[in-house]
Amino acid sequence: MNEQTVGRGGLTIGALQRQIRAMYGAKDEARGDAATFLWLSEEFGELATALRSGTDEELALEMADVLAWLVTLANIRGVDLEAAVQRKYGTACPGCCAVPCVCDPSEKP
């Protein structure tokens, strides 16, 4: 798979981050992190609407949009999102260090 292209079956967080950067990097840098965060927030609103009353397809597409805008924000700020996810969630729950998580359900792990 070309490093700049996302192929079928080969999509990782890192590949998505590279693909978004290749497609939109210049626009994203020009927009900046504050405006990008506003777009991400708007997508969360659209996701809420899809959760409440959307079809399964609408829900899936809104989830994809939220992920894409989060990746965009990571690109702008220079965060390797795949490495960050691996560090935090790659071995076990960050709260209780177990798999599956045994944290109290009323607490955020």
Q: What pLDDT does 7 receive?
A: 54
pLDDT at 3 over 50: no
Give pTM, 2 decimals: 0.88
For residue 17, give both structure tokens.
């981050």
For domain 13-78, the CATH class is mainly alpha
Q: What are the sequence ranges of the domains in the chain?
A: 13-78
Q: What pLDDT does 9 receive?
A: 67
Query: Do 14 and 82 meet the contact criterion of CB atoms below 8 Å apart?
Result: yes
For residue 8, give both structure tokens.
């079928």
C-alpha–C-alpha distance, residues 5 and 16, integer Å: 8
pLDDT at 56 over 50: yes
pLDDT at 93 over 50: yes
Residue 52: C-alpha distances to residues 46, 49, 70, 94 (Å): 10, 5, 22, 30
